[in-house]
Amino acid sequence: MSDYRIEHDSMGQVPVPADRYWGAQTQRSRRNFKIGGETMPSEIVHAFGILKRAAAIANQKLGRLDDVRYQAICAAADEVAAGKLDDHFPLVVWQTGSGTQTNMNANEVIAHRGNDIIGRPLLHPNDHVNMSQSSNDTFPSAMHIAAALTLTNRLLPALEELCATLRRLEEENADVVKSGRTHLQDAVPITLGQEISGWRSSLEEDREMLKKALPGLYALALGGTAVGTGLNAPKGFAQEAAKAVAELTGLPFLTAPNKFHSLTSRSELVFSHGALKALAGDLMKIANDVRWLASGPRCGLGEISIPANEPGSSIMPGKVNPTQCEAVTMAAVQVMGNDAAIGFAASQGNFELNVFLPVIAYNFLQSAGLLADCMASFDKNCLTGLTANREKCLENLHRSLMLVTALNPYIGYERAAQTAQLAHREGLSLRDACVRLGFLTPEEFDRVFHPEEMVK
């Protein structure tokens, strides 16, 4: 048996691997775009399965598609959506900027798989699977479906789990008073619980921003076809297709009110990724705080301990590093770079179509997936095991010269500054410096100086 079969398209015949469902146009793309190793994200492929089934539902309801072909398309599309045919989607990101070749990859795979299900060649990739559609409205729709599903099913649950861990840590450490820090310098006291509450609140704000971005992603370009006019799509197709996507996903997708916008503008994805960048920025800050607070174990701050997951050095025995924090910060850097790429690519919507779609999809989904994974890992392998080093917190607290701020109401700002400067210069306690300067008696100092009460 030959390893290849002959397929054809409008440009002629092409040999295609015999054990693959793709056809001539997919094979041409494989041949013509040997660029990089980044294949089209599986989330886009699965979204195409949802989209193609929804289109078939709309076409059948509107009398354009007979029952036999309809059922075969739906069965094959379901397999695509479930990831069962991922091996039949080989194309790279670096292809046509409209994503036409990935749309045709989906059309060809569903047509050939559907014909296998029927047992005879009734389905044509363009005439039936792509009926009432264009690559120009399907790929933007697949991007929105993939983005909304990834945020809803992967990223937001991981974010909520992380917030839950921080809420627990916040409560457990509400009574741990420690030195605050601003400008990387000692500041007035704070509890560890209060510090953690800042982390938790930041992530909850990011969660709300992501939720606010979702409605824009629910708007689908389906029905706009080639340039937004809806040419070759029957009346009502856009609404029926969006309704079907909503029913298949459980998310409130709807048809975009202006298809000229939805084909050429990627502003909704830019806005959504902005929220991802905000989340990346806060995760960067939290991971940095954790590794600074855990620094040491003897020559750093050492106010918290985090799990020792693996050896940290190939030469220094016993060294353990904050590796989970490092992974989070690297992922955050990648997301920030992706944001720049997405913003620039989205600005290239010339006339009726943006032709930077695959790179936008790739970067967006990479960002969402990276953040979801690193939050889950950070939570499980680091934050869940975070504990306060109470004695070190207390030691650092009482060594801090900024506790002198508590004396401002009693001796004034300038005298308090003199007290701190003398204590620092001569290695004195604040109490000894204040008494030596004659600003307070020992008894007066003890009566008004209570660092633990400064956090209230």
Determine whether 320 is exposed, middle or buried from the number of CB atoms within 10 Å of its CB (0-12, 13-18, 19+).
middle
Between CA 103 and CA 139 the distance in angstroms is 7
112 catalytic residue (yes or no): no
Selecting among 313, 347, 424, 450, the annotated active-site residue is 313
Nearby residues of 316 by Cβ (< 8 Å), 6 or more positions away: none
- For residues 89 and 105, what is the distance between their CA atoms, to the nearest angstrom? 7
Q: Which helix (H) or strand (E) holds 350?
A: strand 349-350
HSE toward the beta carbon, residue 207, CA cutoff 13 A: 20
Residue 158 neighbours by CB under 8 Å, 6+ apart = 371, 372, 373, 375, 376, 379
Nearest 10 degrees: Cα torsion 358, 363, 369, 373: 150
Residues 6+ apart with CB under 8 A from 413: none
Q: Residue 125 carries which DSSP code?
A: I
The residue assigned the tokens 């390893």 is 3
Which DSSP string do the residues of 208-260 spell out, in sequence order? HHHHHHHHHHTEE-TT-TTTSS-TTPPTTHHHHHHHHHHHHHSS--EE-S-HH
Crossing angle of helices 135-150 and 100-118, in 10° steps, is: 90
Residue 183 annotated in active site: yes
Whether the Cβ atoms of residue 194 and residue 200 lie closer than 8 Å to each other: no
Which residues 6+ apart lie within 8 Å of 64 measured at CB?
A: 131, 132, 234
Residue 9: what residue type?
D
273/438 Cα distance (integer angstroms): 59
Which one, of 36, 133, 25, lies nearest residue 89 by Cα? Answer: 25
CB 73 within 8 A of CB 164: no
Q: Which one of the listed residues 2, 10, 183, 314 is annotated catalytic?
A: 183
Q: Dig out the tokens for 84 from the structure.
A: 């069962």
Residues with a known catalytic role: 183, 313
